[in-house]
Amino acid sequence: MGLLSRKVTCNSHGQDSSYFLGWQEFEKNPYDEVKNPKGIIQMGLAENQLSFDLLESWLAKNPEAASFKRDGQSIFKELALFQDYHGLPAFKKALVDFMAEIRGNKVTFDANNIVLTAGATSANETLMFCLAEKGDAFLLPTPYYPGFDRDLKWRTGAEIVPIVCTSSNGFKITEPALEEAYHEAQRKNLRVKGVLVTNPSNPLGTTMTRNELHLLINFITDKEIHLISDEIYSGTVFSSPAFVSIMEVLKDMKMENTQEWERVHVVYSLSKDLGLPGFRVGAIYSNDPIVVAAATKMSSFGLVSSQTQSLLSAMLSDKKFTKEYLSKHQKRLRNRRNKLVSGLEKAGISCLDSNAGLFCWVDMRHLLSSNTFEAEMELWKRIVYDIKLNISPGSSCHCTEPGWFRVCFANMSEDALKLAMQRLKSFVGSIAINDLSHQELKKTGRKNRTNWVFRLSFQSFHDREQDER
């Protein structure tokens, strides 16, 4: 007789995924420029570490926000007591204004429609509780963020059915893929409640095209289902095309007074754009007052600390700061991404053309011993244990094609990135080419990558000497 719940004993928390195993390996042997230069470089964590200097300089200029003061008066007590799940009004206003600014002010958001949650992790789970019954399904385009398996399914009992996207068209969402996913759900006797997309995409690093967004809106209209757009990376778009939010498209299609308007919900967070994952600031934005009301009550289980709301309210209300931050930060992301891409190219590795995110979707299909996920795992283990880079295998993101990896670039110093690229280059250079000639890498449009088969010439990681810490 089980004494604990089924949730404890099942695997739906998803932590046995290679996505998390790589992190564990990193933690055992983390790279440090001085103390552990041969350690594992973390490239599996989509963190934004590029612009803390901007945040710190704002803090230095705004001592009141820092010290629980407003107009010279201490507001410590007020904050310590503030547990209203409606959130600090000034913070919500600042947050929706920031969201609008990120979208070039082409859309505005009503502060009354936003619900604050403990990170996007909590926002996504809460939306599931609001929109789906146990056993209902949401359709998600693959590849997708591994954490969704836990966030959307674990405690809610909801199911995920993949919308299969492939490299043949740059992993874009197509109508046949949507329909196929819907039918797959029906074959499994699952009631589809909605579609969840991440835009800009994790792990692809691309923004959705207007065409895709139209497709989605038509699809949810036709099927009368919800659409959740996780826009957590919206502020990381560093090159064209500019970010187009689902809200903008709905507005362009003049759908403000339709039923679909109330079935589109946006998830946001400050973990990626501002690089503050520790502060646990997430949000749900919905045009459906019932969803807003229910989600607001549910947010009791994971409110944002009032101390944090107060600090960020001051920061985000400083429009001069937010404008400067977004512009400088996006430039830095672009530079960093370019460094990664050119480093990969020198190693003969290409990646999906991207314009957003904190990572690249890297094509290592030509390095696989066979076109299988076993080969992908084999390659991944070598990269983690031998080259000592923690990157995320595509299979952990539910990619249907073996050989793709997500490689993060914004969570380390430039020197560490350089070192990582050197290690990768040596690794690739040591591979013996088996009777096949190299095709020159194209700079753009990687649609017709041919799968090359190489025999890996070095010993397996069991035979090699382990580097001492």
Partner 1 sequence: MVAISKIATGNGHGENSPYFDGWKAYETNPFHPTERPDGVIQMGLAENQLCFNLIKKWVLQHPEASLCSAEGVNKFKETALFQDYHGMPEFRQAVAKFMGKVRGDRVNFDPDRIVMSGGATGAHEMVAFCLADPGEAFLVPTPYYPGFDRDLRWRTGVELVPVVCESSNNFKITRNALETAYKKAKEANLRVKGLLITNPSNPLGTILDRETLKSIVKFINEKNIHLIGDEIYAATVFMEPEFVSISEIIDEVECNRDLIHIVYSLSKDMGFPGFRVGIVYSYNDAVVSCARKMSSFGLVSSQTQHLIASMLSDDDFIDNFIVESKEQLFKRHKYFTWSLSQVGIGSLKSNAGLFIWMDLRKLLKEKTLEAEMDLWRVIINEVKLNVSPGSSFHCNEPGWFRVCFANMDDHTMEVALLRIRTFIFRQNEAMVPRKLCTRSSLKLSFSRRRDDFMSPSIMSPHSPLPQSPLVRART
Residue list 173-232, contact with partner 1 (CB under 8 A):
193-194, 224-226
- Measure Cα distances from 167 to 170, 351, 446 in Å: 5, 11, 9
Q: Report how far residue 255's alpha carbon sits from residue 251's, in angstroms, rounded to the nearest whole number.
A: 6
What residue has token string 């547990």? 83
DSSP state of 455: B
Residue list 80-99, contact with partner 1 (CB under 8 A):
80-83
Of the candidate residues 54, 55, 90, 416, the single one contacting partner 1 (CB under 8 A) = 55
**In whole angstroms, how close is the CB of 51 to partner 1 at the nearest point?**
10
Q: Strands 69-70 and 350-351: what pairing?
A: unpaired
Choose the stretch contacting partner 1; rule: CB under 8 A; options: 28-36, 63-71, 197-205, 445-453.
Answer: 63-71
Residue list 115-174, contact with partner 1 (CB under 8 A):
118-119, 121-122, 125, 129-134, 150, 154-155
Among residues 217, 225, 228, 232, the one annotated as catalytic is 232
Q: Report how far residue 434's alpha carbon sits from residue 68's, in angstroms, rounded to the nearest whole number.
A: 66
85 catalytic residue (yes or no): no
Of the candidate residues 16, 28, 35, 60, the single one contacting partner 1 (CB under 8 A) = 60
285 catalytic residue (yes or no): no
Q: Is 306 in the site for partner 1 (CB under 8 A)?
A: yes
What values do phi and psi take at 162, rounded to 5? -75, 140
Choose the stretch contacting partner 1; rule: CB under 8 A; options: 46-54, 321-329, 347-355, 375-383.
Answer: 46-54
Q: Is 329 in the site for partner 1 (CB under 8 A)?
A: no
- Closest Cα to residue 439, out of 447, 450, 429? 450
272 catalytic residue (yes or no): yes
What is the distance, to the nearest Å, from the Cα of residue 152 to the centroid of all Cα atoms in its chain? Answer: 14
Q: Is 302 in the site for partner 1 (CB under 8 A)?
A: yes
Among residues 144, 145, 182, 285, the one annotated as catalytic is 145
Q: Is 446 in the site for partner 1 (CB under 8 A)?
A: no
Binding-residue total with partner 1 (CB under 8 A): 74
Do you know the residue count of the chain? Answer: 469
Contact 393, 367 (CB under 8 A): no
Specify the 3-state DSSP secondary structure of 249.
helix
Residue list 3-42, contact with partner 1 (CB under 8 A):
3-8, 13, 15
**In whole angstroms, how close is the CB of 447 to partner 1 at the nearest point?**
36
CB atoms within 10 A of CB 261: 15
Residue list 235-294, contact with partner 1 (CB under 8 A):
259, 263, 271, 275-280, 288, 290-291, 294
Q: Which two tokens stand for residue 230?
A: 């996780």
230 catalytic residue (yes or no): yes
Q: Report how far residue 41's alpha carbon sits from residue 350's, in angstroms, rounded to the nearest whole number.
A: 20
Give catalytic residues, as residue numbers.
Answer: 145, 230, 232, 272
